[in-house]
Amino acid sequence: MRPTGRLHLGHLVGALSNWSKLQDQYDCIFSVADWHALMGEYENASRMTEYSFEMVLDWLACGIDPKRAIIFIQSQIPAHLELQMIFSCLTPLGWLERNPTYKEQLREITSRDIQTYAFLGYPVLQAADILLYKAQAVPVGEDQLPHIELAREIARRFNFLYKTELFQDCDAILTPTPRLLGLDGRKMSKSYENAINLSDSEEIVREKISKMFTDPKRLRLKDPGHPDQCNVYSYYQIFASEQTSAVHEWCTAAAKGCTECKGILADRMISVLRPIQERRQAYASKPDVVKDILKEGQQKAQAIASETMQQVREAVFKHEL
């Protein structure tokens, strides 16, 4: 995950709640992808360390457990770049230019210049991130599926060219609720300024929810609404599923107005966020503990990465100098 600032509800629903459960089934490795973040934020790189730390606090607050998982910062393992370099050589340009996520981001992100060589090659670094640890599965959002497919293609091409079976196919793991829309109905993203952050205060959560887009056809209180066309309702479905039939009824019967409906949702969201914020505060008050967690993660990740790169060099160059 890229450290581009404090995490939001989209990260919780689309990734973190899933990651937390995956720790029961898999040996998990979670990387702070600061080199990926640099591709979009190279003009604000001085904040990367702060962002990385803040994000790890959010991870720990959401249940990522350093006793069961490896947590590390990507830029502390240079082997990611070595493997990316080798993969870059064998990745046809067309694979990257056709990538739908890349095209969407070029269209949607207008506040920063991302028309760079590195940004086009984003999925190549991602393939290196995955294959360096020979991951069997990667938990991703829907928008990342093309990148996982590219990682598979790169792995197959590497194996074919160097006559090896070093890399296996990796699977994508999607959460049951992979996509939470932002306040304005677009994908939730810090770049679009339409997110509720995990660390937002009660007051800010209420204010943001009060501005959410609703059913555009419900203009007056007495107009019956169409919950299936309302983003507020989709939040109920994710965060307050036991209330959805009641919401459906009061909306279609015009028994409650949107302001009241949003107020009830805000109460729920605040109760979802409160325990996360309390855990976050506990870690934030002990920064040395968090630094030790990252140091231990770096050592464990480095051990795996070194072994893979030894095998990669043997496969590519056949002889060491």
Alpha-carbon distance of 84 to 223, in angstroms, equals 56
SS3 284: helix
Q: Select the residue interacting with ligand SF4 from 69, 251, 269, 290 (CB under 6 A).
A: 251
Q: What is the CA radius of gyration of the chain?
A: 22
Q: Which of 232, 290 has the CB closer to ligand SF4?
A: 232
Q: Which CB sits closer to ligand SF4, 152 or 218? A: 218
Number of residues binding to ligand SF4, judged by CB under 6 A: 14
Residue of the chain from 148, 232, 294, 305 that contacts ligand SF4 (CB under 6 A): 232
230 counts as binding ligand SF4 under rule CB under 6 A: yes
Q: Is 247 in the site for ligand SF4 (CB under 6 A)?
A: yes
**Taking the complex as a whole, how short is the minimal distance between the CB of residue 28 and ligand SF4, in angstroms?**
37
The distance from CA 34 to its chain's CA centroid, rounded to whole angstroms, is 13
Cβ distance to ligand SF4 smaller for residue 170 or 183: 183
Q: Considering only residues 143-182, where is the footprint of ligand SF4 by CB under 6 A?
A: none
Q: Residue type at 137?
A: A
Task: List 32's β-bridge partners, or say none.
Answer: 73
Tell me if 28 sits within 8 A of 19, measured CB to CB. yes
Site map (CB under 6 A) of ligand SF4, residues 273-292, x = contact: --------------------
Q: Does 315 bind ligand SF4 (CB under 6 A)?
A: no
Using rule CB under 6 A, residue 215 touches ligand SF4:
yes
Element holding 138 (H helix, E strand): strand 137-139
SS3 199: coil
Whether residue 35 contacts residue 198, with contact meaning beta carbons closer than 8 Å, is answered with: no
Longest dimension (CA), the chain: 79
Smallest gap from residue 209 Cβ to ligand SF4 (A): 10
Q: In 10 A of CB 47, how many CB atoms?
A: 14
> Site residues (CB under 6 A) for ligand SF4?
214-215, 218, 225, 227, 230, 232-233, 247, 251, 256, 258, 261-262
